[in-house]
Structure 1
Amino acid sequence: MTKVEPYLKKTRLLNYDATSIRQLTNGRHWKALAEHDRIGAAYNFVRDEIAFGYNRSDDIQASEVLEDGYGQCNTKGTLLMALLRSVGIRCRLHGFTIHKALQRGIVPELVYPLAPSEILHSWVEVETVEGWVNLEGFILDTSFLQTLQRKFGDEEALCGFGVATECLSAPPIGWNGTDTYIQDNGIVRDLGTFDEPDEFFSEYRQDFGFLRNWLFRRFIRHWMNARVRAIRSGKLPRDSQSSRRNHSHEEADRAA
């Protein structure tokens, strides 16, 4: 029996044989592109045509992320990996935790204290002729990021509103064959690389406890998504100034 290449195989989460994914890749003729352009096509699609937002869970299938039309680091990463593998690009997942301060401004201040101090995070590593390249810059869609750039134009370093970067005006998010990042400054722990998201989520899970998990799925994530949509349209939530002040104090405490 032929051994399946681990960085190209289909899994329960990387279900790139799903009709919707096949229709997408075939309809856009990505397989006919050179390797560099295949990576760029999948990357740009996930970055800008899948909006930044919060799905019901981290461990959902790529086809569900595509159907939702939005996602965050872990779910958009699953979709990106599925698209890459479907067009013959070897890829893997790198897991981390990030500090919850990165989510300040998106998580309402009323429930922010309930969030764990570390949030499960991941990015995609893709193999090119130059070696493995880190892809994290796909998390925020361009419209959302541009609002933050306008609102915080006098700040190069920003940690909050889904961003953790030292270069807000020009973060390295464009695909040019090198690493892309948008949240890497918020990393707390490196959890290592994994062949597939299925393996990662079987070992690590964002567990808030039964009640908080239920509240997140049924209410809080919808509240967060409404705030994301407001930010994308140019309106920062009313508690943003308070969140920025609290975040500054939190950062000072961490530095101490």
Structure 2
Amino acid sequence: MRLPPFYPVPFVLPLTDDIQFGYNTSDDIPASKVLKDGYGQCNTKSTLLMALLRAVGIPNRIHGFTIDKALQKGAITGIWYRLSPQNILHSWVEVYIENEWYFLEGVIIDKTYLNALQEQNPECKTTFCGYGIYTDKFENPEMEWNFSHTFIQEKGIHQDFGVFDNPDTFYSKHQQKMGILKNILFKKYIRHLMNNNVNTIRNKQY
């Protein structure tokens, strides 16, 4: 019997919008910390989504990649952008529904933030790269799950690490290569600048 079209959307849509796009202290924080923060990026939102889906018995896995830092330009600016790694650790969740694996990358960006960027760039209908987004369907990106893949950053993928059963296994093999000093700067300073940039865009009225 075919599942109703909202399954498992009750978990995907609130995660997309109620957990806004933003930068946590690190990629490998637990799902409970992401929930407490109330915001997340590709890797941390993936951890939370996996926990929610597994809590209701929906099989899932994490798919790891790197993405080009160009898609972060605007969220991170100036010297901090120049000092950031060229390739950034990235992941999305894949869910197993009716004998098919579906990719749920579209949960990364909340709609309020996306709508603000669309209003700020009304001339752009296709390829958009920056501010945490890299898609060739900027006017109408594939973010709604309806027995289909969802994407918002996939055009920036550089290296494919394959699939993993859980985030712990993924992060035991792959970490963001920033070095001790850059890692401390990111946690204590840079990510707050990035979140301020994101929130300024999200809250701007046009």
Aligned to 1:49: 18
Which residues in structure 2 correspond to 1:80-229 (within 5 Å)? Answer: 80-155=49-124, 156-229=126-199
Structure 1-normalised TM-score? 0.77
* RMSD over equivalenced CA pairs, Å: 1.4
Residue 38 of structure 1 deviates from its aligned partner by 4.2
Contact 1:48 1:141 in 2 (8 A): yes
Contact 2:73 2:130 in 1 (8 A): yes
**What residue identity is the alignment partner of 1:172?**
E
Q: Give the length in aligned residue pairs.
A: 203
Residue 235 of structure 1 deviates from its aligned partner by 7.1
Query: 1: distance between equivalents of 2:45 and 2:139?
Result: 23
Query: 2: distance between equivalents of 1:38 and 1:200?
Result: 27
Query: Any gaps of 5 or more consecutive residues in structure 1?
Result: 1-33, 237-256
Residue 35 of structure 1 deviates from its aligned partner by 7.1
More strand by share: 2
Which residues in structure 2 correspond to 1:54-93 (within 5 Å)? Answer: 54-93=23-62
Contact 1:119 1:206 in 2 (8 A): yes
Contact 1:38 1:87 in 2 (8 A): no
Identity %: 49
**What residue identity is the alignment partner of 2:78?**
E
| CA deviation profile, 1:50-99 (whole Å, cap 9, x unmatched) | 01000001001001100000000000000000000001100000000000
Q: Is the radius of gyration larger for structure 1 or structure 2?
A: 1
Query: 1: distance between equivalents of 2:143 and 2:118?
Result: 14
**What residue identity is the alignment partner of 1:52?**
F
Structure 1 moving runs of 4+ over 6 Å: none
**What residue identity is the alignment partner of 1:54?**
Y
